Amino acid sequence: MQRVLLDVDTGIDDALAIAYAVRSSALEVIGITTTFGNVSVDNATQNTLHVLEQLDAADIPVAKGEAAPLFHPLFKSYPSEIHGEVGLGLWSASEPASKPVSTPAGAFIVEQIKRYPNQLTLICVGPLTNLATAIMQAPEITSLVHQIIIMGGAVKVAGNRQMHAEANIYSDPEAAQFVFQSGAPITLVGLDVTMQTELNSEDVRRWREQDTPLATFLADVTEYYINGYKKLYPDREGCALHDPLAVAVAIDPSLVEIQPMVLQVDLEGVHSYGRTVADLRERCTAPPNVNVCVGVEAKRFQEHFHRTIME
């Protein structure tokens, strides 16, 4: 089994990614760190603890992370139309029984990478503030981590949070640029591939037919997510499985086509702040720093996702 540590801003697709990773027989989730992003870090932490309880996996340690980006002020508005006020649709949590560990997320990431040298895969599906903090604390982890899979960015497609910027990167562009230039082994699962995936109302109906507490929970939160997507993407049948696809890349990298690229994050553009910019020139001689996913077998991924969740 591949040991993985998830870094999440639980929201709804984060919840689906956590369920997918925990239910996968190919992965051992050794811990989860939380960050601001879709919601506040407090809500992301409570939501993550709740999702783990729904999965009977409350023994997995959760470490609370950063509440705001490295430099710029926190964006005041959270995407509640997509993830709901608390971050799990209309679900309003009763206090989860379990609590986070006392170790902050950055230190927890360093600790776990050193505990499992060259064996741990980080799967980051929120802003990269925790990971940047961890690398600042212990730069050596970039050569001790097995691989880092990041859901984020939009290289050859439009952004979602801004014209050109994807939400996770845009939430902390400086952190993302620091991580991308750190020398760590990074695979980027951006909107270029995640927007080709879909979970629709037929999938939700099948979960409702299962009629188990987990299936009902997933159906409830996903229904909210799909309705939010309909407002932003009226021509789409359902929602995109952004975060679950990052987990899938850890389980089966053959699901995606990778192109090594020289990648930067724009930190100064008036209209392009937070954009992931690749040097695609033939004559580019700089060494690639990120493996960018440029293609995906969406149907095969979606089938594996549903089979794994409901095993």
Residues within the interface to ligand RIB (CB under 6 A): 9, 11, 13-14, 37-38, 125-126, 151, 160, 166-168, 242-243
**Per-residue contact string for residues 227-256; x = within reach of Ca ion by CB under 5 A:** ----------------x-------------
Distance of alpha carbon 113 from alpha carbon 124, whole angstroms:
14
Residue 274 interacting with Ca ion (CB under 5 A): no
The distance from CA 132 to its chain's CA centroid, rounded to whole angstroms, is 15
The least distance separating ligand RIB from the CB of residue 189, rounded to whole angstroms, comes to: 10
Concerning whether 242 is annotated as a catalytic residue, the answer is: yes
Smaller CB distance to Ca ion: residue 246 or 259? 246
The least distance separating ligand RIB from the CB of residue 153, rounded to whole angstroms, comes to: 9
Sequence letter at residue 115? R
The distance from CA 191 to its chain's CA centroid, rounded to whole angstroms, is 12
Instruction: Assess contact for 170 and 38: CB atoms under 8 A.
Output: no
Residue 126 interacting with Ca ion (CB under 5 A): yes
Residue 145 interacting with Ca ion (CB under 5 A): no
Q: Which of 50, 83, 164, 242 is catalytic?
A: 242
Q: Which residue is closest to ligand RIB by CB?
A: 167
Q: Tokens for 104, please give them.
A: 């902050």
Distance of alpha carbon 13 from alpha carbon 309, whole angstroms:
13
Query: In a 3-state reduction of DSSP, which class is residue 263?
Result: strand
Smaller CB distance to ligand RIB: residue 84 or 126? 126
Instruction: Assess contact for 6 and 18: CB atoms under 8 A.
Output: yes
User: From ligand RIB, Ca ion, none, which one binds at residue 160 (CB under 5 to 8 Å depending on kind)?
Assistant: ligand RIB
- Which single residue is written with the structure tokens 């064996």? 119
Q: Tokens for 166, please give them.
A: 């994807």
Applying CB under 5 A, which residues contact Ca ion?
A: 9, 14, 125-126, 243
